[in-house]
Structure 1
């Protein structure tokens, strides 16, 4: 094998290993089944790699939008997202932003359209995204009402409601990250890390 081909293969391997570590860091709470979803951005060329990484985990992968060589990826546990969207208070809240259904697939398609419009500068960022990431409704409403200011605490999201509960959740997320990273470093595959 020519030297150039070997170097390209090694370089590609480093990129995918780095990307896998980033995915595990971003998605550890989802992998450990203590969070319903996560969102991150990857080079669009690696979208297929991301999908294959989650095979066998029970976690779904949806590209919300892509452009300028990047893809916004949403990974989620479908039953948990569906349960969240069926909450009557959440459904009423989302109706303000044009969500006409409580079905996960329809809502995610609408969210993807809103993210895409935002990425092109045609609409403000859809801050209702917090609902789809499992943030408490009170915190999502507070963030929108206060335009991201005056939060009572900041961790994985800005907290406007129950700080004590949020801190416990943030600690659980940190613990999940540590556990998932250690398992990955020990040679486990994503399907073995996922609960």
Structure 2
């Protein structure tokens, strides 16, 4: 169980674990989730402001949100972000208040609520563009649909994919999860543009990544 959970953590959340992205999501069969394991990881990750939380429980699957508390706080300091989230029922912009509303919306919506992009560090213009265009008329698509700065977004996509490549390579060599995180946290992973597509939002045998 521990191996499956931590394998998905590495495969799906590398940019957040490296400290270069606010958050990542992944789904996993509930039998592979052990609360004591999450508690133990959270204690170890606290020093680098990263936490793991179950944000939705379904009959067979759990949805896991891995996020950087400091980056979340910084995101919420933006008045435009607050105004946008307020339209979806968010009024308390501290971590606990935000996650309480997010969990409620995830549990009542058949699909992901549109504001989930903010919690995954998508640019506000792209989140709003997706909503206003109903997912159409995007400039470019990658880890999300882009309606703003395509050039900047492509660089971000490449950075995230390179990061995933490095994390997965270390994991496959047998390194422990916390050793990989300690090595790469802060975005010090080696850029490798020749393999940027490895781990890019692929479906997994025991879960699914949501970049």
Please give the range of the TM-score, normalised by the shorter of the 2 chains.
Answer: 0.7 to 0.9
Quickly say closer, same or farther: Cα 1:48–1:19, change in 2 above 3 A. Answer: closer
Quickly say closer, same or farther: Cα 1:125–1:36, change in 2 above 3 A. Answer: closer
Shift of 1:104: 1.6
The number of aligned residues is 177
Corresponding residue number in structure 2 for 1:93: 84
Shift of 1:19: 4.3
* Structure 1 runs not aligned, ≥5 long: 1-11
Q: Considering fraction of residues, name the structure with more helix.
A: 1
Corresponding residue number in structure 1 for 2:126: 139
Q: What is the rounded CA distance, in whole Å, between the counterparts of 2:18 and 2:58 in structure 1?
A: 30
1:85-139 Cα offsets, whole Å, 9 max, x none, are 22111000000000011112101110110000014xxxx6411000011000000
* Structure 2 runs not aligned, ≥5 long: 186-211
SS at match of 1:57: helix
Report the TM-score, using the length of structure 2 for normalisation.
0.78
Corresponding residue number in structure 2 for 1:159: 146
RMSD: 1.7
Corresponding residue number in structure 1 for 2:13: 27
Q: What is the rounded CA distance, in whole Å, between the counterparts of 1:19 and 1:105 in structure 2?
A: 24
Compare CA radii of gyration and give the structure with the larger one: 1
Match of 2:107 among 92, 98, 116: 116
Q: What is the rounded CA distance, in whole Å, between the counterparts of 1:95 and 1:170 in structure 2?
A: 28
1:2-56 Cα offsets, whole Å, 9 max, x none, are xxxxxxxxxx6xxx54543332111111111111110111112222266145652
Once superposed, which parts of structure 1, at least 4 consecutive aligned residues long, lie more than 6 Å away?
A: none
Q: Which has the higher contact order (CA 8 A, sep 6+)?
A: 2
